[in-house]
Every structure is written in structure tokens, then in C-alpha cells.
Amino acid sequence: MECIPAVDIRGGKAVRLLRGEFSSETVFGDPLEIAESYVASGARRLHVVDLDAALTGSLVNFDAVVSIATSLGVPVQVGGGVRTFGVAEKLFSAGVDRVVVGTAGVLEDGFLADLSSRFPARVFFGLDHRRVEVDGHVMRELAVRGWTEGSRLDLEGAIAAIEGLPLAGVIVTDITRDGTLSGPDLAGLGDALESTTHSVYASGGVASVTDLEALASLRKGGRALSGVIIGRAFASRALSVEEAVTVCAR
């Protein structure tokens, strides 16, 4: 199981949000310095999110993202604002290894299929969701535009629609756990493993070695998670990168 530290950038600074709420920001410092520390501690891939771009669709923190992608010697995957071919191509041309598509994959018919066909195994689909009640039915609704809006598309339907696409995988995030250090959504991740043949990466809630061991042990339909993305636990030093990398490799 791959261990991937996350660096979220807003206004040029590394931050963490609580449940994706922009009003609950904690600033942790310079994004490049934090990314450097993660690589020095053993990280072999980084997950970078331009939060301003996720909200607006414009690559507000492009220079900060590129500095991480080109100077540390590890592959970097980038999310936030990847809603057109032009943006994806700009990121790839600047040295980004993979991109994460969220909003456009949900709202723009055919975009994910076209982009992944053009860049096979270099595009993730970000399945960022909340449990909501719609017409008396509880669903895992995908959120869009920086998690500020619902889509009325459920997680299960989105997963079913992407089978056969040449994706790098799917990143499954329970927004209600993101940044909370309250533990991962094991049941939801298990459902995802059963519902798709794509590689599944967990995101949200990880706080401890116990959480990592639970994720590594998760099996559904004979399948296991391919990786885990960790943000606040590393930024707040609740969990060390060295220890997490060792546990995930084991």
C-alpha cells in the first residue's frame, strides 16, 4: 500500500482545512519546505492540491505547484482546477506526473474518458463525497467546485460509469472525515473496492499507525487498497512520515 503525503496550497501557503471548509483553515508554512521534509523522511510520491483552483477553476498557485513537481526528484500528482485539456496539458508540460480530476469528471460528460484516453494511466478520478439525504434516500453524493456544492450524483453511480477507462485509479474521500483525524471510512472504502476494478486510494481521517494497519488489512472481493493519502496527520505531526512509510511498505 503506497503512502502519499498531501500538501494543500491556498494563497501560496500550505494549509489544512477541516471537512473541506474554507473558513476552518490552519496554516502550516511554506509548501516547498514541507514537501521537502516529506521526501527527506522517505515519501516516494506527493499529492498536491491547489485549493484556490479547486474553488475557482484557475491555477492560482501554479508556480508553487510546479516548484514542488520539478525540484524534489519524486513524482507528484496534482488536483484542483483540472477542468480542461489545456489545464491538464499545462501541468503535464510543467513536470507534473499525474492529475486528479474532480469537478469536471462529475459535471462534464465525456471529459474524463477523453482526458484519460489521451493520457492513459496519468489521470485519477477524485471521488469526494458526503452522505446526504435526497428524496428520503441516503446517498454518498459527490461534491464539486472545491467541495462547496453537491452534484446529486452518487458515488456508486460514478464508479459504475468509469469502468473500462484507462485511469491511474480513483481517490475516495469521505469529506466528513477529511482533516478530522477521526479515522478512515473503512466500510465506504470496502464498498468502493467491491464496485470497481480500478486501483483505489483512500483519503481522509487517517491519524495513526492503527488506522494504516486497518487500511492495509482491508479486503473486499479479493482486492486491497493501492494507497493512502495523508494530510493533517503529517502536517500536525500526529503521525510521522517515516513510520507511516514503513507500515505501508510492510
Residue 135 has what pLDDT?
76
What's the rounded mean pLDDT across residues 180-195?
Answer: 94
CB distance 231 to 8 below 8 Å: yes
Residue in the block written with cell 476552518: 24
Locate the domains of the chain by residue range: 2-249
- The whole-angstrom separation of Cα 10 and Cα 23 is 12
Residues forming the active site: 8, 128
Residue 152 has what pLDDT?
87
pLDDT in tens, 92-145: 999 999 999 999 999 999 999 999 999 999 999 999 999 888 777 888 899 999
Residue 132 has what pLDDT?
87
Q: Work out the pLDDT band at 188, boundaries 50, 70, 90.
A: very high
Residue 13 has what pLDDT?
98
Q: At residue 33, does pLDDT exceed 90? A: yes
Residue 144 has what pLDDT?
94
CB distance 142 to 96 below 8 Å: no
Residue 54 has what pLDDT?
95
- Which long-range contacts (C-beta less than 8 Å, at least 24 apart) are formed by 26-30? 26/235, 28/235, 28/236
- The whole-angstrom separation of Cα 244 and Cα 227 is 12
Residue 63 has what pLDDT?
97
Residue 219 has what pLDDT?
96
- The whole-angstrom separation of Cα 81 and Cα 79 is 7
What's the rounded mean pLDDT across residues 1-14?
Answer: 97
Please state the CATH superfamily assignment of the domain spanning residues 2-249 in this structure.
Aldolase class I (3.20.20.70)
Q: For the chain, how many residues are written?
A: 250
H or E segment and range at residue 222: none
Residue 7 has what pLDDT?
98
pLDDT in tens, 202-238: 999 999 999 999 999 999 989 999 999 999 999 999 9
pLDDT in tens, 153-187: 899 899 999 999 999 999 999 999 999 999 999 99
Instruction: Please tell me the chain's helix, strand, coil percentages from 3-state DSSP, rounded to the nearest 5.
Output: 35, 30, 35
CB distance 99 to 123 below 8 Å: yes
Question: Cell triple for residue 236?
Answer: 500536525
Instruction: Kindly report the pTM of this predicted structure.
Output: 0.95
